[in-house]
Copies of this chain bind each other. A is one copy, B any other.
Amino acid sequence: MTDSTATVRVELAERSYDILIGAGLLDRVTEFVDARGGARHVAVVTDTNVDGLYGDAVADRFVDAGVEAHVLVVDAGETSKSPDVAADLWQTMVDEGCDRQTVVVAVGGGVVGDIAGFIAATFARGLTFFQFPTTLLAQVDSSVGGKTGVNLEGAKNMVGAFWQPRGVLVDTDVLSTLPDREFRAGLAEVVKYGVILDADFFGWLEASADAIVARDAGALRRVIQRSCQLKAQIVQLDETEQTGARAKLNYGHTFGHALEAATGYEQLLHGEAVSIGMVCASRMAELMGRITADETNRQLSLLRRFGLPVKLPRGIDLGELSSLMWRDKKVHDGEIRFVLPSRLGEVDLVPSPGDEQLMQSLRSAQA
């Protein structure tokens, strides 16, 4: 445990904000909000898993500071990212007297951040919003960048808004209660940042894998800080996904999303699907002569050390995976564009090499 904190600044003109990372920051949540405009009325959005651990505790900090705070609890899990749950939250907020001065604070993982951010973006046409992410995945990925939203039937994240938080507070201590499988799944996105943007960071992850898996506080702070810096770099170039820069963040995700869909969003965690997806994408890059087998194998080996799956689930239908990829919303003018490495630390957007090489990439990751 250490008392030092790191700050990552996300520069987005008048929507710029800080991500503060360190141990024990839960205790400083009201101070953090006060330094950023303050709040007189707070709606804490959390889920049934996190409420008892941190949701209520965050609300209590505000109440202790004389701020009226309500706690809105959604069911844990992806099903809460729905228009129905959004409608329930909106109505509850009206009934509890929320107005345009209310500040929304998300306390939870990616699902909580996405639904709370969407509520913040739309209630009274936009409320001030803070993120207090409690999973590694949310700390390194979903709480940075302003994407919020809910799912429709057959279309994940199809409704939402770009809505930047006014600040993100990452307390590394909360990871102590995160189940091991969830923790490891978050590391998949961390590996991704190394592959797409920073070979040195990738090398540091290889060197520090044991400390990271042991959840050493200093190692975790560096993992989160560098991941947030790298994501912020991309988001700053392409806040609302117009230029293609942001698409680089989808390394492993075209394969990963298809895998999640093919397995009904239950068998694999998002990070696990991305882990397997990165292996497939890297193999595809090899087949196209973009990288060497060694560069795939380093990823594979690091993912394995992080306890992440690198093989497709047994019995999965490769033809179904392929057709799911063609239906992905990121298919552009009838062309799947893959994010593929040209070396560790650099990726490009590449048109699909064709179905034969796509199938071959999938086969290379078969169990």
Within 8 Å of chain B (Cβ to Cβ): is A207? Answer: no
Within 8 Å of chain B (Cβ to Cβ): is A94? Answer: yes
A95, A100, A147, A158 — which one has the most chain B CB atoms within 10 A of its CB? A158
In the complex, the chain B residue whose C-beta lies closest to that of A332 is: B101
Among the listed B90, B125, B126, B152, which residue makes an inter-chain contact with A91, where contact means beta carbons less than 8 Å apart?
Answer: B152
Contact A126/B161 with A83-B86, A87-B83, A329-B99 known, Cβ cut-off 8 Å: yes
User: Shortest CB–CB separation between residue A247 and chain B, in angstroms?
Assistant: 12
Could you give, for residues 292-318 of chain A, a 1 whenever the CB lies within 8 Å of some chain B CB and a 0 otherwise?
A: 000000000000000000000000000
Whether B160 and A147, one on each chain, are in contact in the complex, defined by CB atoms closer than 8 angstroms, is no
Among the listed B94, B147, B159, B329, which residue makes an inter-chain contact with A155, where contact means beta carbons less than 8 Å apart?
Answer: B94
Alpha-carbon distance between A66 and B84 when the two chains are bound, in angstroms: 36
Within 8 Å of chain B (Cβ to Cβ): is A5? Answer: no
Q: B residues within 8 A CB of A95?
A: 154
Q: B residues within 8 A CB of A161?
A: 121-122, 125-126, 161
User: Shortest CB–CB separation between residue A249 and chain B, in angstroms?
Assistant: 15
Q: B residues within 8 A CB of A360?
A: none
Within 8 Å of chain B (Cβ to Cβ): is A149? Answer: yes
Could you give, for residues 116-150 of chain A, a 1 whenever the CB lies within 8 Å of some chain B CB and a 0 otherwise?
A: 00000111111000000000000000000001010
Q: B residues within 8 A CB of A123?
A: 158-159
Whether A160 and B122, one on each chain, are in contact in the complex, defined by CB atoms closer than 8 angstroms, is yes
Within 8 Å of chain B (Cβ to Cβ): is A162? Answer: yes
Q: B residues within 8 A CB of A240?
A: 125-126
Q: B residues within 8 A CB of A356?
A: none
Q: B residues within 8 A CB of A94?
A: 152-155, 158
Could you give, for residues 317-331 of chain A, a 1 whenever the CB lies within 8 Å of some chain B CB and a 0 otherwise?
A: 000000000000100
Whether B83 and A158, one on each chain, are in contact in the complex, defined by CB atoms closer than 8 angstroms, is no
Whether B84 and A153, one on each chain, are in contact in the complex, defined by CB atoms closer than 8 angstroms, is no
Whether A125 and B162, one on each chain, are in contact in the complex, defined by CB atoms closer than 8 angstroms, is yes
User: Shortest CB–CB separation between residue A342 and chain B, in angstroms?
Assistant: 27
Among the listed B83, B147, B160, which residue makes an inter-chain contact with A83, where contact means beta carbons less than 8 Å apart?
Answer: B83
User: Shortest CB–CB separation between residue A290 and chain B, in angstroms?
Assistant: 28
Residues of A at under 8 Å CB distance from B?
83-84, 86-87, 90-91, 94-95, 99-100, 121-126, 147, 149, 152-155, 158-162, 240-241, 329
